Amino acid sequence: MEQRHITLGEFIIKRQEDFGYSSGELSRLINSIRLAAKIVSQKVNQAGLVDITGSFGKENIQGEVQQKLDVYANDVFIETLVNRDILCGIGSEENDDFISISGNDKSNTNKYVVLMDPLDGSSNIDVNVSVGTIFSIFRRVTPIGTPVTSEDFLQKGIHQVAAGYVIYGSSTMLVYTTGNGVNGFTLDPALGTFFLSHPNMKITDDGSIYSVNEGNYNQFCDGVKAYLEYCKDDVSKKQYSSRYIGSLVADVHRNMLKGGIYMYPGIKKNPSGKLRLLYECNPFAYIVEQAGGKASDGVNRIMEIEPTDLHQRVPFFCGSKNMVEKAEEFIKASK
């Protein structure tokens, strides 16, 4: 009989044996993310046929017009995560403040919090281009049984216990790490099962793809401009390709597989850039570092940044180690 891929569920059980997770709560948490990902995936695949495209008509705290799928995905992930009685709190791009979850019984012993971007790449929904979900998991730092506080969410990225993303693309994939490498699972929609398709994902130290919104070129600092000129130099080095999908999940996923650098630098009107530290940059920094790559704000390691606000933004340079270091070199040289 042809050897089949192992399922996400089988992988989690095996990992629990290998790494002896304490109470299996983290496994249950990943399982609940798996269910929510399948529900959102099904809706994404019906976009255009069901009333899930277009704007929801409200603005979120980011000053963005929420898309219907932003709100739908947010509701699905919150409901699924809360129903599993595993968490004590959730922070989301689509919610102004964090959500405190009191367990079914008063002595809530749940010890994990999740920070998430329920639908990443909203501008691509209506044009049928890949979108995603991003999540970051921490253990709470305040006493178990008390209400969560902002301290539980404003933790440095180095304290993440798990991070991952779902990409709703030509296929739906769930990619995550719990600190022992990165593994990718592809959904077989006919079976509704995620199978291990990309074991132990690694990003090459070098690559020849750079991803940036060049529409912002005039607003970049001199160091970023100099690095972009370096990327375009096809005389003294190998020609690079520019690839920018406009979905962080899709751009970084491609660079994970092919090598490359994703950049969202600070710009004049927004020196901290656009991407949010807690539920976009930290989770991808953890994943990319676990795959052998690097993630910085151009100077500092992303996962060492001390958060001060749930929705704070940071400049983001992420991907192949040598490419990120080259960009940092140009930025530091221009300071």
Residue type, 141: V
Q: In sequence order, which ranges of 233-281 are alpha helices (DSSP H)? A: 248-258
Asked if residue 279 lies in contact with residue 93, where contact means CB atoms within 8 angstroms, the answer is yes
> Is the C-alpha dihedral spanning 28, 32, 37, 38 positive or negative?
positive
Residues within window 272-301 making contact with ligand AHG, judged by CB under 6 A? 274
Q: Does 213 bind ligand AHG (CB under 6 A)?
A: yes
Asked if residue 167 lies in contact with residue 198, where contact means CB atoms within 8 angstroms, the answer is no
Q: Which does 115 bind (CB under 5 to 8 A by kind): ligand AHG, Mn ion, none?
A: none
> How many CB atoms are located within 10 Å of the residue 252 CB?
31
Q: Which stretch binds Mn ion (CB under 5 A): 13-21, 60-68, 174-182, 226-234?
A: 60-68
Residue number closest to Mn ion, CB atom: 120
Contacts of 23 (CB under 8 A, 6+ apart): none
Among 41, 247, 255, 320, binds ligand AHG (CB under 6 A): 247
Q: Which stretch binds ligand AHG (CB under 6 A): 27-35, 105-113, 226-234, 247-255?
A: 247-255
> What x-and-dash track marks residues 99-128 binding ligand AHG by CB under 6 A?
------------------x--xxxx-----
Q: Does 94 bind ligand AHG (CB under 6 A)?
A: no
> What is the 8-class DSSP label of residue 302?
G
Asked if residue 316 lies in contact with residue 328, where contact means CB atoms within 8 angstroms, the answer is no
Among 33, 52, 91, 117, binds Mn ion (CB under 5 A): 117
Distance CA 213, CA 323 (A): 17
Give the residue with the Cβ less far from ligand AHG, 189 or 271.
271
Asked if residue 164 lies in contact with residue 176, where contact means CB atoms within 8 angstroms, the answer is yes
Q: Does 248 bind ligand AHG (CB under 6 A)?
A: yes
The CB-of-85 to ligand AHG minimum distance in angstroms stands at 27
Residue type, 169: G
Beta strands (DSSP E) in the chain are 55-59, 65-67, 87-92, 99-100, 112-120, 131-139, 162-168, 172-177, 182-188, 193-198, 209-211, 241-242, 261-264, 294-296, 316-319
Task: Confirm or deny that 122 is annotated as ligand binding.
Answer: yes
Task: Confirm or deny that 117 is annotated as ligand binding.
Answer: yes
Which residue is listed with tokens 């790490």? 177
Q: Does 251 bind Mn ion (CB under 5 A)?
A: no
Asked if residue 178 lies in contact with residue 162, where contact means CB atoms within 8 angstroms, the answer is yes
Give the residue with the Cβ less far from ligand AHG, 251 or 297.
251
Give the residue with the Cβ less far from ligand AHG, 149 or 213.
213
Task: Confirm or deny that 123 is annotated as ligand binding.
Answer: yes
Task: Confirm or deny that 60 is annotated as ligand binding.
Answer: no
Distance CA 112, CA 31 (A): 14
Q: Which stretch binds ligand AHG (CB under 6 A): 105-113, 172-180, 235-243, 245-253?
A: 245-253
Among 93, 152, 251, 297, binds Mn ion (CB under 5 A): 93
Contacts of 158 (CB under 8 A, 6+ apart): 303, 304
Distance CA 21, CA 43 (A): 33
Task: Confirm or deny that 120 is annotated as ligand binding.
Answer: yes
Q: Binding residues for ligand AHG, how many (CB under 6 A)?
A: 13
Residues within window 27-86 making contact with ligand AHG, judged by CB under 6 A? 64
* Interacting residue ranges for Mn ion, rule: CB under 5 A: 64, 93, 117, 119-120
Annotated binding site for Mg(2+): 93, 117, 119-120, 280
* Interacting residue ranges for ligand AHG, rule: CB under 6 A: 64, 93, 117, 120-123, 213, 246-248, 251, 274
Annotated binding site: 93, 117, 119-123, 213, 244, 274, 280
